[in-house]
Amino acid sequence: MLRNPKLLILDEATSALDSESERIVQQALDEVVAARARTTIVIAHRLSTIRNADKIVVVERGRVVEQGTHSELMRVPNGVYQSLLAETEKAN
């Protein structure tokens, strides 16, 4: 972040954090990303991390199976993203 990169890749950046710490880190990352024009690629299993992304790409078995915004993906009948989100919410 010190060098102000044009591309930022976050691979499971909050996976080891509890929910409250994740929220704080995510809020800080959202502010950093919004403040500067940069592309940020977020790799995450916690869907709360990517919910506000401009574009979400769902990969299953090494293939892109869905892509769009959270709202768009929630409208896909029997969608992979939708079912993953339902499983996550049920677990919490």
pLDDT in tens, 20-34: 888 888 787 777 777
pLDDT confidence bin for 81, thresholds 50/70/90: very high
Burial status of residue 8 (CB atoms within 10 A of its CB: 0-12, 13-18, 19 or more): middle
What are the structural domain ranges in the chain? 1-46, 54-92
Of the two residues 81 and 89, the one the predictor is more confident about is: 81
pLDDT of residue 54: 87
Report the C-alpha gap between 44 and 10 in whole angstroms: 8
Average pLDDT over the chain, rounded to an integer: 84
- Give the predicted TM-score (pTM) of the model: 0.74
